[in-house]
Amino acid sequence: MHLEQESSRSGKAAIFPVLFGFFVMGFVDVVGIATNYVKEDFALSDTLANLIPMMVFLWFALFSVPTGILMGKVGRRNTVVIALVVTALAMLLPLFFYDFAFILLAFAGLGIGNTMLQVALNPMVAHVVNAERLTSVLTLGQFFKAISSFLGPIIAGVSASYWGDWKLIFVVYAFTTLLSIAWLLLAVRGNEKQKEAGATFATTLSLFTDKYIVWLFLGILFIVGIDVGLNTTIPKLLMERVGLSLGKAGLGTSLYFAARTIGAFVGAVLLAKISAACFLKASMCLSVLSFVVLLVSSSQEIMYVMIVLVGLACSNVFSILFSFALRHKSDRGNEISALMIMGVSGGALITPFIGVVSDWFGQVAGLTVLLGCMLYIGWVAFKVE
């Protein structure tokens, strides 16, 4: 009994550095506003500028399964620590070398670190909370991630306006990542026992034979594509539609992430009480309707309202789909996590396509790609339970 109580207290203490890890996870969303600054600094086209988010999210396709295998060998905590070290190093690179090639390299490092972090951190939540609370706690983690995403454009704007260099945001990010490493090492034991068999490429990819998992995987791919696509294109749309400067248009991205932050917090409360499947259906109906109005509106005020509504509607989709997958095959958590995080590569697949369509036909045409993604997730919402 004493040992069980000690384990319980340890689990409760472990959830706090794990949730702080979700805050660090949100650093990846700085790629949206950073793409706009880099585009302006180096006079890039939309197609070339969108190589930056592609360099971040490409690695989710390549590193997810190897991270799942590594996690089975060294443990979840140690995998998270490695991920945080890679993230900190990537954040320091633009401070010393600022040209387009090194920017691509820095964001590639950020993508690799974030891939490893997401693969290991999500099943860590399943390890420290019971199954009934999994969706709610994963959503709470997304709340902390959304706070970080919301603060990113603000910190970049402050760095540019008051410190004279937007890149100083990376100093803040590197220091925060080092704090996360220290807290995790102090608060979480590193010798957790894995109950499931070791993951391999073959066993992970064999999950694609499950139709339910395929639906959820594509849902993850598209919701990340939506997030990254909006993160990158909201400032461009506001500049094109209502003539805002980049500094002011970047606040549109902060507004989106502020809505996602509020939505994630509300979702963490509601999902502890109501059905996740019903919540997902309502969310997708709201997102599609709001996004259609955003595409046709020319009023700055209405556009801001629609950005908020889309952010609220999309804020819990990732965690709901992820929890459905983990609960569907709870005995294969490492493999499920690796496969679902592979779907985060949607950020690399969707944004370059948006860039090409935007260069040819304009920002609104590019954004219709995201509408298609929303419609697919809406279809999934009515297929899964």
Q: What is the mean pLDDT of residues 13-30?
A: 85
- The Cα 77–Cα 90 span in angstroms is 20
In the predicted model, is pLDDT for residue 67 greater than 80? yes
pLDDT of res. 321: 92
pLDDT of res. 131: 63
pLDDT of res. 309: 95
Greater confidence, 212 or 343?
A: 212
Question: What's the first-to-final CA gap in the chain, in angstroms?
Answer: 37
| CATH code assigned at 257 | 1.20.1250.20
pLDDT of res. 54: 77
Q: What is the mean pLDDT of residues 21-48?
A: 84
Amino acid at 299: S
pLDDT one-digit tens code per residue, 84-131? 999 999 999 988 888 888 888 999 999 999 999 988 887 787 766 666
Q: What is the mean pLDDT of residues 204-217?
A: 89
Contact 42, 14 (CB under 8 A): no
pLDDT one-digit tens code per residue, 120-163? 887 787 766 666 677 777 888 888 887 888 788 788 888 888 88
- Render 323-369 in DSSP notation, one character per residue: HHHHHHTGGGHHHHHHHHHHGGGHHHHHHHHHHHHHHHH-HHHHHHH
pLDDT of res. 385: 65
How many separate domains does the chain show?
Answer: 1
pLDDT of res. 347: 65
pLDDT of res. 12: 61
pLDDT of res. 9: 43
pLDDT of res. 81: 93
Q: What is the mean pLDDT of residues 363-375?
A: 89
pLDDT of res. 285: 96
In residues, how long is the chain? 385
Q: What is the mean pLDDT of residues 362-372?
A: 86
pLDDT of res. 8: 43
Q: Which domain holds residue 249?
A: 2-190+197-381
In the predicted model, is pLDDT for residue 6 greater than 50? no
Mean pLDDT is lowest, of 10-14, 51-55, 113-117, 373-377, for 10-14
Q: What is the mean pLDDT of residues 185-207?
A: 69
- In SS3 terms, 254-276 reads as HHHHHHHHHHHHHHHHHCCCCCH
Mean residue pLDDT of the chain comes to 83
pLDDT one-digit tens code per residue, 274-313? 888 899 999 999 999 999 999 888 888 899 999 999 999 9
Work out the burial of residue 132: count CB atoms within 10 Å of its CB; fewer than 13 is exposed, 13-18 middle, 19 or more buried: exposed
3-state helix, strand, coil in the chain (%, to 5): 90, 0, 10
Mean pLDDT is lowest, of 4-8, 29-33, 333-337, for 4-8
Where does the pLDDT of residue 217 fall: very low under 50, low under 70, confident under 90, or very high at 90 and above? very high
Amino acid at 320: I
In the predicted model, is pLDDT for residue 339 greater than 80? yes
Work out the burial of residue 48: count CB atoms within 10 Å of its CB; fewer than 13 is exposed, 13-18 middle, 19 or more buried: middle
Amino acid at 243: G
For residue 238, which of 133, 340, 140, 364 has the smallest C-alpha distance?
364
Q: What is the pTM of this model?
A: 0.74
Where does the pLDDT of residue 32 fall: very low under 50, low under 70, confident under 90, or very high at 90 and above? confident
pLDDT of res. 179: 95
